[in-house]
């Protein structure tokens, strides 16, 4: 029997492919940002590419909306401390 995930308590650090790492690194150089801030900037742009309503409909953590880039009413200022 398949065990149901407890999404509330799942915390992990994803392992990125070489493709993703190399691509993010190049965007970081372009934008003069650390890779972590570059990933945040990419996440901030995703609602323009993916329908936020569809993302919300499939969400399994509805208590985390205030931290989500797909919440239209509360889009966070994700890119902070931009370094020159």
Span 1-32, pLDDT tens digits:
566 666 566 666 778 899 999 999 999 999 99
How many distinct structural domains can be found in the chain? 1
Report if residue 24 sits inside a domain: yes
43-79, pLDDT tens digit by residue? 888 999 999 999 999 998 888 888 888 886 544 444 4
In a domain, 10, yes or no: no
Q: Is residue 82 assigned to a domain?
A: no
Residue 6 lies in a domain: no
Q: What pLDDT is attached to residue 68?
A: 86
Domain-embedded: residue 80:
no
Residues contacting 25, CB < 8 A, separation 6+: 35
pTM exceeds cut of 0.75 = no
Does residue 70 lie within any of the structural domains?
yes
Domain span at residue 45? 17-74
């Amino acid at each position: 029997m398949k065990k149901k995930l407890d999404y509330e308590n799942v915390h992990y650090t994803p392992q990125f492919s070489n493709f993703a790492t190399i691509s993010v690194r190049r965007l970081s150089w372009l934008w003069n940002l650390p890779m972590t801030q570059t990933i945040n900037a990419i996440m901030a742009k995703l609602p323009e590419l993916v329908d936020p309503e569809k993302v919300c409909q499939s969400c399994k953590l509805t208590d985390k909306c205030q931290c989500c880039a797909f919440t239209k009413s509360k889009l966070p200022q994700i890119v902070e401390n931009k370094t020159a």
